Structure 1
């Protein structure tokens, strides 16, 4: 387009030579002729223009001149410009044709190489062009497809292509009849034809199917673990639940819920507490709560844990959490608590009964210096102590015409006893117990049919418990108790204790009654103690066995000499299994004047098995000098079996919980690995939270197993020589990663070798550092010191905070023990960390204790061996 302007410039320079220069108007004609019609048209237009200019614009006077520069030069320039225009546009047209050919070839190549099927139809819907991808997809050759109607291949039927949506998912029929799922897109071309893009979505369908299967697996895993998930959209006030959440709460699947609607499902007594906790979570506090629901008339326990997402302005957007049905755990905890309470009661009863039996045994052993009345006095006093009875009577006799003789009465004032004047007879309620040989327990003895009233001056009584004392099936005495202090009646437990005391007192009364002469007394003593369920041994001052009953004989080994220290009948062991030195045996301790009550030992029986026993030993003193000792062995295998079953139950429950937790972790790992790159970030975060929660649950299960092993003395360690300072430094570095923001520092005066199991000590350090962070003052330094101490190495973890009150420090290392402040606070925990830590330290032969100054610092000290124990 710039050539006409060049020509115009030349014309302006030559306008004086050619007076009439209007011939420049022919330039556009030549230019457009060359650009539109090509080289020949341009050259023809140039020639014609030259003729017209020569004829019309050159003066005749100049036309007759030959070789006039004023005429020839402009005409030559005009012709040259025309030729130049024609050649330029010819080259331009050739370039455009080459570009068009290249574009067609490129378009054809792209269509041929396209991974999606491309189908081009005429306006009637018959195929005119197909690419190889479409042929492969449909199983036809190109020749077979051309001319076919698109409706023959698509399941969309005979619908007009103009009516198809922008993107349609349908299926196409292959040549072999198989249906292929596809995504179809169609558009109208400029020439009136239709172009359809067909994409095979089989792979996508398989991925979707896999995702559905993974979702199903997640739902099943949640069902197995009893853990559901939920999301609360705070802006819309809509709650979205997983399938397991609907099942846990008993709500039909798909039910739309709001936050208030969810609160209606919570137990009325727990709604206010849950609502307060949730509002606190919206302010940034952690949300971890246990509450109840009522489902089908049954109360169930649910644990809810959640995190709240906030926008950049701090406004809460949504809450994402989990819910877990912990009803079975709650019931198990309650059952375990009842078992613990029963165990404590049984232990207390056993200890009380052992003390009572020891007192009775001591009274019997004191014969002949004492008499029958003294023995009965001891029995009555022990019955009163065991039951808190205000009045106790003990009498021997069954004839209603003859008063009890002897008769022991406790709780009745001396002046009242003098007014009554004589012993009661076995009539009325007393007679029903003594003559009928039966137990009577009543809340109000006045309402009993056998009650016959009180004599004049007798104190009024209400609750009553009567138990006959039998020996070899015959009555040897009767215990009567009235008015339990602090209660309206005697309990079943009181009755059981008095029955057990009566079983032991029967032999004592029989011994005391028949104690005539040393030989006669010894024979009857042997007879009576043989009937006792406990093993009884009498030794002299040299710890030589002089008398024992059949239970004690059954516990003895088959070989050995009686009473010799080097080859004893009884192989006595500590509860840990270590042999008891001869000078520390119950017999030796008792002969030195020491009294033992309910001390636990183990006795290796004739079959080589260790029998757990509670031993009570009392010295036998003659004229102020120890003459021997009486030892009572209480077989507690039944109690130990109960304890073992409880520990086994705890271990089995913890072990069985591992499987669903492992399934959850494996499933989550699989989901995270198989999640597509385009998966929502919220979904990935939810999976990561589930994975972290399952790991925390796994650690809780490990703690329960360790606690069970420690209690059953089955915790094992594999010590070796370890640099405790380096181990502590590594634990601190790891804690900084897992407990971000906690200022923890380790200090040690060089390497500190210790004989420890590094994995177990790492566990102790993790527990102590975790407690220091949870209960310490935020932002204050936590210090870990390692230093030598005599033949050991001392490890100390110190934090600043509220501290531990002195009255709670002793129980801090007990199982499931937590301080009152910790239980009242929001910090979660089972109370097993310190119990397990002390068990691990003691398994190394070390010692662990706490030193705390309330309001300042708390230090946990671990003393560990420096070298292996001597062989």
Structure 2
């Protein structure tokens, strides 16, 4: 306790004050200015508190620091009241100062602890929070504010917290919080939105409940695990990536424990190699991969060899589930995985490679055999042109034994003229990467004779290095003789072509004329020199026909023959004349090298054709006149015949039962025959006058049957539904005549059937009845003009109609079983 006057001078104190300030006695402190006991930095606020004291009469729990006699600062909590006289006037103040040094130390320690906690939370990215139930607020640590991106000190409630939770996770978070309020653990991971970015946090909480289960408060943590989640994703992606690479690598990979030999993993290629599923392999001794061995230890021989010698590669065999043995090359290595050492074996299936090596060896042996047995001479040379090997045919054609030929220079048995012309540039051409065309040389044999050879050359390489070249020589002596004979034949051909009155020509594959006979000079007006300079076939053709010529020329050079074609030819002076060209491709060794043909001048032919057309026109006019005359004649004659028939009828009425009646009936029969002859002439006159078109066979047959058969005693079997043929309106007359024939001459016909048979290139239309049939000796005669019991024109007209259609007809029935007519229609 310290008492001061109104000026701040100390007038009294107790022993606690002396001890606190370390003064030996009251005398040492009395009279001192109270402000001298206050630390300098606190004096301003103390002066303000004294003003408040004299204004309000007291101050409570004011903190400041005093300085003792040793100069040590002592924090105190200070309370004071005004002292007054009997009149109520202020005469001083009395204050109580309590030493709060220990409390300040505790507060400093607590403050440092809070700083350390905040720093620790920041390092751990873990914030904390407390639930204040009384005020319904969440008290967040600095790190929690930082995690959520919220300014420190911002009031926070559960509802405000939920707004930061990612929309996808809000229901999940709220469900877990509600469960925690009923006593269940709260330990969850979820996403939050911070300034538009997504973060992951892990939350844990411990809630405090009363004995009655009432929530009293709670404490929790919020850890930023965004980086952890990112690392987890990256790790997962990395694992998936390497697992995928492991699974998809083309070679089989097996992992086995080095101590036990037990398989611990394998990839998909491994299962495919041995034909087993992964569960059939994992946990098995790795010797299951290899064929059975005498020593049935836990390791296969190849595994044991690796453990001993550690080679980079091993050749071995594996056995598949179905017992197939396959060759493999194994690249083995070991590595640590935890405390275990694993052996990794990469197996490459070389079964096909081994087979190919065997096939190659067999092929080489076969190649050597083929070379020895080849009919062509085969030589190999080094870079100096010296023979290094040859086959038996080479020894035969040259006449040298092998010991004399090997080591001999090529030029020694090739004549100098040929070798200087053909061979000196061959080496450089081959070495520059060229592929020379076959060339011909004459060879000198040991006996001094010569033979002609066609030489095919190619380089010999060892790796990428040129080691020499090979020559295959074919004896073409006989071919040379044939070529001489061909030249003689061509000479005769040219001599013969000069004798022809038509243009004979040859052209190369570009259309350039390479040969013409003398007739071409006359027809086209060009000189021999002009032709020799390279005139083309198009220059011989008028402009309007050139595209057609080009089209047919391309057909020729592709090996096709377009047949004869008419064009308008063009002379040098510009005049034109019609011509027809018949040409064929010229082949050499199966390849088209040009064309050869004959041009025929059609000028006279065209004149003749024109005259013929004029004659045909006159004939058509004459036929038309004859047609008119025929129609008028038939009409007038029929009128007269009608008069005759009428008079015959009247005469028969006047002369009943008289012998004259027989004569009158003969007259009636003759008139009927005349009518039929007129009908035949009318039908015959129509033959070939109509254009052929698609005609419905069934319809024509039905109409003909209705006209010819007027009773129900005969049945028609018409089996031609949907059948059409190229014909005209006379098809119905054809069927009518056939039906009329059956009815008049079949005697007992009750059924007529018409059907067809289709073959790849023709159609057979078959007409048959069930009458008496036709005798074999009459089968051809019935189609003759005038043959038969009637007019003799019915079947004759049918045959002529078929000929106009391009058909044929014959009688194919059997006597006693009915008549059968087979009409053949070509469809190609």
Q: Which has the higher Rg, Structure 1 or Structure 2?
A: 2
TM-score range, shorter chain: 0.3 to 0.5
The normalised TM-score by structure 1 is 0.31
Structure having greater relative contact order (Cα 8 Å, sep ≥ 6): 1
